[in-house]
Structure 1
Amino acid sequence: MSLDVVIMAAGKGTRMKSARPKVLHTLAGRPLLQHVLEMSAGLGAERLITITGHGAELVETEMRAALPAAPLAFVRQEPQLGTGHAVQQAVPELADAGTTLILNGDVPLVRPQTARALIEACGGEKLVLLTVVLDDPTGYGRIVRGGVQGDRVLAIVEHKDATPEQRAINEGYTGMMAAPTAHLRRWLANLKNDNAQKEYYLTDIVAMAEAEGVPVVATIASGETEVLGVNSPVQLADLERRYQRQRADELMEAGVRLRDPARFDLRGELVCGRDVEIDVNCVFEGRVELGDEVRIGANCVLRNAKIAAGAVIHPFTHMDGEAAGIEVGEGALIGPFARLRPGAKLGAEVHIGNFVEVKNSTMAKGAKANHLAYLGDAVVGERVNYGAGSITANYDGANKHRTTIEADVHVGSNCVLVAPVTLGAGATIGGGSTITKDVPAGQLAVARGRQACLNGWTRPAKAPKKPAE
């Protein structure tokens, strides 16, 4: 059966007090609308039709870039004359039959299970509303039910119009539904705007369905969080915390030890082995894999990184693998205050210490750079000891060049290795050297000015101050 998904995303979001369209504000590192589109893409829909308005060009451009393989379509609502008017703009994109699922672009956490339940309940024949049961449904339209078992929806009564008895109903309408496409096309064509706001309301199709004898039923959401919308920075922050707590609970239920789930941020995908420990204020972006018994210290940021079993990432370490990724081997010790950049591939038992930066470099088993150093575009062999303050000068102003440091090399403190250059196995580089030529295996290389001591030299002294007149 044909399935179309229509997502309403035309609103300006005035209460966000932002020049950026509301649906492009981010939750867990991704735009609100992207969450909805990604979930919808997994439903097998023929088309994902987004209704844009405010900032339409920016919204459409960013979503096409984020989901290049999805069956996206965009229609614009200009001017914006209500929810019914919005969906009317999507009619030319809809199939002639099947089911249309209508979602909101600022409600990012609707679960796939809930969406599928709506689609299945519709079956191309019924109008199905997504509702939620709340302790306090203030502001929600109330669902008035009827039928032998209360399984039919008779009406949606707006809060401001509800009687005291109707306000006591704790089931509210979320603004999302699934409808038989053929009926929906007809109902939308018959909408009227004879109301105080002169707008076309999507909810008016409930009365049309009832009048035609089309069953109107409801599917109840799992809870408030999955149907919460975002209209202000306060609501966005609240939803962020709810989302992060859900992810934290899932990880802890799988065995991950989080020092404080209230201070945890997942903005991508995190895959954990057994006995993983994560301290407070850590941020995970892109795809991060943590092997068995990995320990992540406080205040770390990890993006697109794979950390092997037993590695320890000390506090305040920053890893950003971008597209190239980062790999850290078994038992490695990283940080504190270390920075790993794209293409860093560290072997087992590698040590990277405080204020060390590694970019596009491989380091073999047991290699160490423990203090204040830079390794860029380098190949580092086993058991290399790379001294404090040393750097690879890999850029000549136009091109990058590689440095090769073979096994068991010892690089003294405060050295500059001017690439391209190779240090042979077992070589030693004297502290303070600037190395511009290859060093043979096993040899000592020293490249610095000769030290001189001047007898009889005295340190300059300040002239005595003149007395005040």
Structure 2
Amino acid sequence: MALDVVIMAAGQGTRMKSSLPKVLHRLAGRPLLQHVIDAAARLQADRLIAVVGHGADTVRAAMAQAAPALHFVVQQPQLGTGHAVQQAVPALADEGTTLILNGDVPLIDTETARALVAACDGRRLALLTVHLADPTGYGRIVRQGAGVRAIVEHKDASAEQREIREVYTGMMAAPTAHLKRWLAQLKNDNAQGEYYLTDVVALAVADGVEVVAAHPADEIEVLGVNSPAQLADLERRLQRRHAERLLAEGVRLADPARFDLRGTLRCGRDVEIDINCVFEGRVVLGDNVRIGPNCVIRNAEIAEGAVIHACTHIDGDTLGVTVGQGALIGPFARLRPGADLGPEVHIGNFVEVKNSTLARGAKANHLAYLGDATVGERVNYGAGSITANYDGANKHRTVIGDDVHVGSNCVLVAPVTLGAGATIGGGSTISKDAPAGQLTVARAKQVSLPGWQRPQKKK
């Protein structure tokens, strides 16, 4: 049986007070719409359709790579939820089931969506409903016995109906053939002049089609975003859920309220994470890893026993970052894409490493840059030293052998190789290969000028 998924994403979101389309505002690092698309994609539907309107070109461009199978239809002008689904009708199959989701309700779970489709079973109109302690603003579910008879909008509800706590979430599954017929019958004879999708309930009842309800496992799945305050509230709810999962797995979070996960995080045993840490992309932490406060870690694997000190920024981007067993990183260090650090490596404060490999025990403890470099075991890389890896057009590599000592304030002009056991005198600019086991110094002769006087300011 064919399954089509329609995601309504045409609204302007005026309460967001933003030029960015509402469905592109980010929750846990991803656009709201992307969350819904990911959940829907796991249903393996025959067609995945997004109804766009406000900022349609911007939404298309944002989703082009993330959801290449997504089919777009445009609602212009926006004349209500029923009108939105009407625009998708030409793209729907003739038979089967159509599932309707909302692009601004990001945390719908795939299993809940699957249960809604199952409740429809190609024969019934299935509504996703939830019981809320405060249902203000939501359409109320009016039942006759166990069956659903109508959805009454809050503004139209009587005092008695406003006491109903079961509300419609804006998501439904319907037999596609019936849905097409009902959509064609919608009228806009209301104060807003809009076509309401909820009117299909009355049409289904009139046709003798059973109307049933399915329910989410958690209220968070059906909470929508209409304002910055609601987005912030949903962010904290989601992050609390992530934190509780990690705590249940044995991770020690110093404060679950000051933790942010914007991707996936896998932790070994006895991992400790201090406050205000942000994890993005794919992050793996081995056993006994300790993460200090105020760290940002993206697309990285950190091995057993490593310590990431406070205020360290790790961004693996597409290349990734690897930190070896027992390594010590930071505070205030920066690891960029392609940084591959071996066991017991030390990267100290204000040290930046990019596209470089450091072997066991290598140390760059402060105020240094290593870019496009291969660094051997037990190297000591002095403060203020840099690899000059870019000639203005191309990047070049620096190779530093085992047991090399690079003094402070050195410039290594790539391509250059420092042989094993070499020592580079402080303040040297090295543009030629340095022999193994020897002291290499390259700096101007020191001169003192007797009788020289410092210029004085004119009075």
SS class of match (1:438): coil
* Residue range with higher mean Cα deviation, 456-465 or 268-277: 456-465
The normalised TM-score by structure 2 is: 0.98
Of the three residues 190, 193, 197, the one matched with 2:188 is: 193
**C-alpha distance in 1 between matches for 2:248 and 2:89:** 44
Deviations 1:422-450 (A, max 9, x none): 00000000111111111111011011122
Deviations 1:77-102 (A, max 9, x none): 11111111110000011111111110
Paired residues for 1:293-332 under 5 Å: 293-332=288-327
**C-alpha distance in 2 between matches for 1:280 and 1:181:** 50
- Give yes or no for contact 1:133–1:223 (8 Å, CA) kept in 2: no
Does 2:129 align with 1:131?
yes
Q: Which residue of 1 aligns with 2:42?
A: 42
Q: Compute the displacement of 1:163 (Å).
A: 2.1
**C-alpha distance in 2 between matches for 1:343 and 1:383:** 20
Q: Which residue of 1 aligns with 2:283?
A: 288
Q: Which residue of 1 aligns with 2:160?
A: 165
Q: Which residue of 2 aligns with 1:99?
A: 97
The normalised TM-score by structure 1 is: 0.96
- Give yes or no for contact 1:408–1:427 (8 Å, CA) kept in 2: yes
Q: Which residue of 2 aligns with 1:447?
A: 442
**In 2 relative to 1, CA 464–159 (structure 1 residues): closer, same or farther, beyond 3 Å?**
closer
**C-alpha distance in 2 between matches for 1:92 and 1:236:** 33
- Give yes or no for contact 1:131–1:174 (8 Å, CA) kept in 2: yes
**C-alpha distance in 2 between matches for 1:222 and 1:463:** 77
**C-alpha distance in 2 between matches for 1:407 and 1:351:** 15
**C-alpha distance in 2 between matches for 1:4 and 1:460:** 82
Of the three residues 408, 422, 426, the one matched with 1:427 is: 422
**C-alpha distance in 2 between matches for 1:261 and 1:445:** 52
Of the three residues 382, 392, 395, the one matched with 1:400 is: 395
**C-alpha distance in 1 between matches for 2:455 and 2:20:** 62
Does 2:112 align with 1:86?
no
- Give yes or no for contact 1:132–1:222 (8 Å, CA) kept in 2: no
SS class of match (1:382): coil
Question: What is the letter of the counterpart of residue 350 of structure 1?
Answer: V
Does 2:384 align with 1:389?
yes
Question: What is the letter of the counterpart of residue 13 of structure 2?
Answer: G
Q: Compute the displacement of 1:462 (Å).
A: 4.6
Q: Compute the displacement of 1:2 (Å).
A: 1.1
Q: Compute the displacement of 1:272 (Å).
A: 1.0
SS class of match (2:257): helix
* Residue range with higher mean Cα deviation, 456-465 or 296-305: 456-465
Counting aligned pairs with the same residue, the percent is 75
**C-alpha distance in 1 between matches for 2:113 and 2:270:** 34
Of the three residues 332, 335, 341, the one matched with 1:337 is: 332
SS class of match (2:118): helix
Q: Compute the displacement of 1:464 (Å).
A: 9.8
**C-alpha distance in 2 between matches for 1:44 and 1:157:** 33
**C-alpha distance in 1 between matches for 2:456 and 2:182:** 94
**C-alpha distance in 2 between matches for 1:314 and 1:325:** 19
Q: Which residue of 2 aligns with 1:10?
A: 10
* Residue range with higher mean Cα deviation, 37-46 or 192-201: 192-201
Deviations 1:110-140 (A, max 9, x none): 1112111101111101111011111111111
**C-alpha distance in 1 between matches for 2:433 and 2:155:** 82
Q: Compute the displacement of 1:463 (Å).
A: 7.9
Deviations 1:328-385 (A, max 9, x none): 0000000000001111000000000000000000000000000100000000000000
Aligned residues: 459
SS class of match (2:173): strand
Q: Compute the displacement of 1:164 (Å).
A: 2.2
**C-alpha distance in 2 between matches for 1:237 and 1:277:** 26
**In 2 relative to 1, CA 83–461 (structure 1 residues): closer, same or farther, beyond 3 Å?**
closer
**C-alpha distance in 1 between matches for 2:283 and 2:111:** 26
**C-alpha distance in 2 between matches for 1:172 and 1:269:** 33
SS class of match (2:64): helix
Question: What is the letter of the counterpart of residue 144 of structure 1?
Answer: V
**C-alpha distance in 1 between matches for 2:350 and 2:11:** 46
**C-alpha distance in 1 between matches for 2:455 and 2:442:** 34
Deviations 1:194-228 (A, max 9, x none): 22222111111111111111110111223332111
**C-alpha distance in 2 between matches for 1:417 and 1:169:** 74
Does 2:412 align with 1:417?
yes
Does 2:108 align with 1:110?
yes
Paired residues for 1:139-154 under 5 Å: 139-147=137-145, 150=146, 152-154=147-149
**C-alpha distance in 2 between matches for 1:126 and 1:293:** 53
SS class of match (2:93): coil
**C-alpha distance in 1 between matches for 2:20 and 2:454:** 62
